[in-house]
Amino acid sequence: MAFLPVTACVESIEQLSPNFIRIVFSGPEMRTVGSHKPVFDQRIKLIFPNPGKDLPPLPANGDWYANWSALPEDSRGVMRTYSIRSLNMGAHATTLTVDFVLHTAPGFTGPAATWAANAQVGDKLLIIAPRLDAESMGGIEFDHGNAQCIVLAGDETAAPAIARILEDLAANSDSSLTGTALIEVPEKADILPIAAPAGIQVKWLPRQGRNHGELLFESLGITAKHLTATPADGDTLVWETPAFSATGEPVSSDSTARGEYYWIAGESGVVTTIRRSLIKDKGLDRSRVAFMGYWKRGVAMRG
């Protein structure tokens, strides 16, 4: 299997800004985790123990998800999806870094954010991440094909993936790539350094109390007509990429297409609004866009 759970230990914790905490994970089992390709927006699953409980017992091989789902709720812990901010495969140890958004306000928090806010060096969780020896990886959506101009847009939950994509592009790609990265964050103090390619302009959009998504809408030229429409996608996250459609729309992956490439992620309702505008009104080709709900207002994720 390309992905298997490993036990990871908190090696270090750094409060980066008011709303981001960086946690570096390591441990002997982490040696099996790795990638020979750019990480880009590689998603991983984290399984957090229930408060006061041990990590769920999972076999090292076999169908980890079936085994995990079959466990009683009080010993299963909770699973959530995160991005790899950085992966360092050193000669003697592998470390994996995750930047957690601290959405800890009463009524707006969840087990993952609470765990991160209270984490201590030595704490353990399970990480389901790509195995170093896996042939195919899966879980990476960013694919700009032959596009020479890219637009990345997202909120604070997408900031770690956007930063990783930009830093991987800067390290691996030709310098002719141009474009913009729009990153909406709660406040000015959440602006963090990113080593982006020279041709890509990084624009941080601190909300400073404005509504979630408003600054992204403004920057992408989205009109009032879309803002009044309520997305009707229930509890599910929008997930529409050239290779996959959560709604069953025909997919149209054409990696030779050259125009602009859009990668959009964040709160699902905001992403749905952006999608409607870019696809339906501006006529953007579906093979040139990836729209991903990373969380949904008022809904606890299930993994």
Ligand X SMILES: Cc1cc2nc3c(=O)[nH]c(=O)nc-3n(C[C@H](O)[C@H](O)[C@H](O)COP(=O)(O)OP(=O)(O)OC[C@H]3O[C@@H](n4cnc5c(N)ncnc54)[C@H](O)[C@@H]3O)c2cc1C
Least distance (Å) between residue 281 CB and ligand X: 26
Q: Pick out residues in 42-71 that bind ligand X (CB under 6 A).
A: 43
By CB under 6 A, residue 297 contacts ligand X? yes
By CB under 6 A, residue 296 contacts ligand X? yes
Residue 248 or residue 298: which is nearer to ligand X going by CB? 298
- Out of 119, 170, 191, 299, name the contact with ligand X by CB under 6 A: 299
Which residue is associated with the tokens 């991983």?
Answer: 44
Least distance (Å) between residue 41 CB and ligand X: 7
Least distance (Å) between residue 210 CB and ligand X: 15
Residue 98 or residue 147: which is nearer to ligand X going by CB? 98
The window from 2-10, 67-75, 170-178, 293-301 that contacts ligand X (CB under 6 A) reads 293-301
Say how far apart CA 47 and CA 69 lie, in whole Å. 12
* Cβ(8)–Cβ(132) below 8 Å: no
The window from 60-68, 125-133, 195-203, 290-298 that contacts ligand X (CB under 6 A) reads 290-298
Q: Pick out residues in 77-116 that bind ligand X (CB under 6 A).
A: 80-83, 98-101, 103, 108-113
Least distance (Å) between residue 261 CB and ligand X: 18
CA 100 to chain centre: 10
Largest CA distance in the chain: 55
Binding mask 7-46 for ligand X (x = CB under 6 A): ------------------------------------x---
Q: Pick out residues in 138-177 that bind ligand X (CB under 6 A).
A: 157, 160-161
Least distance (Å) between residue 35 CB and ligand X: 16
By CB under 6 A, residue 301 contacts ligand X? yes
By CB under 6 A, residue 298 contacts ligand X? yes
The window from 1-9, 76-84, 250-258, 271-279 that contacts ligand X (CB under 6 A) reads 76-84
Contact set with ligand X (CB under 6 A): 43, 80-83, 98-101, 103, 108-113, 157, 160-161, 294-301
